[in-house]
């Protein structure tokens, strides 16, 4: 898998290239990262990549031409090394606050592909004509404002690379993650490690029992009640997609009897 980043801040990508799980996978050759600076595709003495917006308004707009030349250079480079299967050119993806929100199922889909050309914007935006001509897909991280696309691109890369075969150890297995289909989209249960008693607080007895069936049941129950409390939308989704067993439903009913309505309504009055 290969990611080509078109960015005014290539140094930022050392974070995913050199550190942690993604850094180790990069070192092992499981994925590659190449950066391309639009400034290197300018032809004026000031290496201008932005200009004032037509129609007025605050801030500056990234010019189409340096970005277009960067995309063309990337396409040529990818072709030269056979990074993409024939007829399966990597998509040009713009990180953008008006894009589709990224999520785990999309990360899984990306993990089955050959990578992408990721365009990172800065300033107020990018000339729309570049987007219309070159961009296949716009991806957002969510409803908050970033200073540019670089952090978005790194989040996307991290979410995809950790799903590649051989990237995670067994111990780090993606199978256990929150949002993983194996957990049917529930949040993960709490974790504990040594010492058994820390600062006077004990570890839940079940986790020390060595009884794997009881431990699995405890974790499932914790996942269900945590998800019901924090993310009821994920409970609904699991229910709709057949991810909740009759036992799960019983656990949720018990939990709602313990926490629901009458006692709380009273204290709220």
Q: What is the largest CA-CA distance in the chain?
A: 73
What ranges in the chain are assigned the alpha helix state H?
Answer: 14-18, 20-27, 64-81, 104-111, 128-134, 150-161, 205-208, 212-230, 232-240, 246-259, 261-268
Number of residues that bind ligand 9D3 (CB under 6 A): 15
Residue 9 gets the label, from left (phi > 0), alpha (psi -120 to 50) or beta, of: beta
> Looking at beta carbons only, is 99 or 243 nearer to ligand 9D3?
99
SS3 of the chain: helix, strand, coil, percent, to 5 = 50, 15, 35
From 125, 188, 226, 237, residue interacting with ligand 9D3 (rule: CB under 6 A): 125
Measured between alpha carbons, how far is residue 163 from residues 55, 72, 126, 234, 248 in Å?
Answer: 44, 29, 31, 21, 27
> Looking at beta carbons only, is 38 or 121 nearer to ligand 9D3?
121
Q: Under rule CB under 6 A, which residues in 51-110 are in contact with ligand 9D3? A: 95-97
User: Cβ of residue 151: shortest distance to ligand 9D3, in angstroms?
Assistant: 8
Q: Is residue 38 close enough to count as binding ligand 9D3 by CB under 6 A? A: no
Q: Is residue 115 close enough to count as binding ligand 9D3 by CB under 6 A? A: no
Q: Which stretch binds ligand 9D3 (CB under 6 A): 74-82, 118-126, 195-203, 210-218?
A: 118-126
Using CA atoms, how far apart are residues 249 and 186, in angstroms rounded to an integer?
13
| β-sheet with 125-126: strand ranges across | 50-51, 61-62, 125-126
> Looking at beta carbons only, is 142 or 204 nearer to ligand 9D3?
142
User: Cβ of residue 57: shortest distance to ligand 9D3, in angstroms?
Assistant: 9
End-to-end alpha carbon distance in the chain: 58
What ranges in 82-148 are assigned the alpha helix state H?
Answer: 104-111, 128-134
Residue at shortest CB range from ligand 9D3: 152
Active site (catalytic) residues: 97, 124, 162, 177
Q: Under rule CB under 6 A, which residues in 137-176 are in contact with ligand 9D3? A: 140-142, 144-146, 148-149, 152
Which residues on neighbouring strands pair with residue 1, listed in sequence order?
none
> Looking at beta carbons only, is 93 or 238 nearer to ligand 9D3?
93
> Looking at beta carbons only, is 86 or 145 nearer to ligand 9D3?
145
User: Cβ of residue 155: shortest distance to ligand 9D3, in angstroms?
Assistant: 8
Binding region for ligand 9D3 (CB under 6 A): 95-97, 121, 124-125, 140-142, 144-146, 148-149, 152
């Amino acid at each position: 898998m290969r990611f080509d980043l078109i960015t005014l801040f290539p140094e930022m990508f050392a974070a995913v290239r050199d550190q942690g799980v993604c850094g180790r996978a990069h070192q092992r050759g499981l994925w590659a990262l190449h950066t391309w600076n639009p400034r290197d595709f300018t032809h004026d003495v000031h290496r201008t990549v932005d200009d004032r917006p037509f129609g007025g308004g605050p801030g500056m707009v990234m010019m189409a031409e340096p970005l277009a030349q960067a995309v063309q250079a990337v396409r040529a480079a990818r072709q030269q090394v056979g990074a993409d299967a024939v007829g399966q050119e990597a998509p040009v993806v713009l990180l953008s606050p008006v894009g589709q929100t990224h999520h785990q199922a999309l990360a899984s889909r990306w993990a089955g592909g050959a990578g992408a050309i990721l365009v990172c914007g800065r300033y107020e935006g990018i000339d729309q004509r570049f987007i219309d001509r070159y961009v296949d897909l716009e991806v957002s991280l969510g409803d908050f404002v970033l200073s540019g696309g670089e952090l978005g691109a790194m989040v996307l890369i991290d979410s995809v690379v950790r799903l590649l075969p051989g990237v995670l150890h067994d111990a780090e297995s993606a199978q256990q993650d929150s949002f993983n289909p194996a957990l049917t989209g529930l949040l993960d249960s709490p974790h504990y490690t040594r010492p058994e008693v820390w600062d006077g607080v004990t570890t839940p007895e079940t986790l020390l029992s060595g009884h794997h069936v009881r431990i699995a049941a405890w974790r499932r129950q914790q996942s269900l009640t945590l998800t019901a409390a924090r993310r009821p939308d994920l409970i609904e989704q699991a229910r709709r997609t057949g991810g909740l067993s009759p036992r799960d439903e019983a656990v949720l009913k018990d939990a709602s009897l313990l926490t629901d309505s009458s006692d709380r309504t009273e204290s709220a009055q």
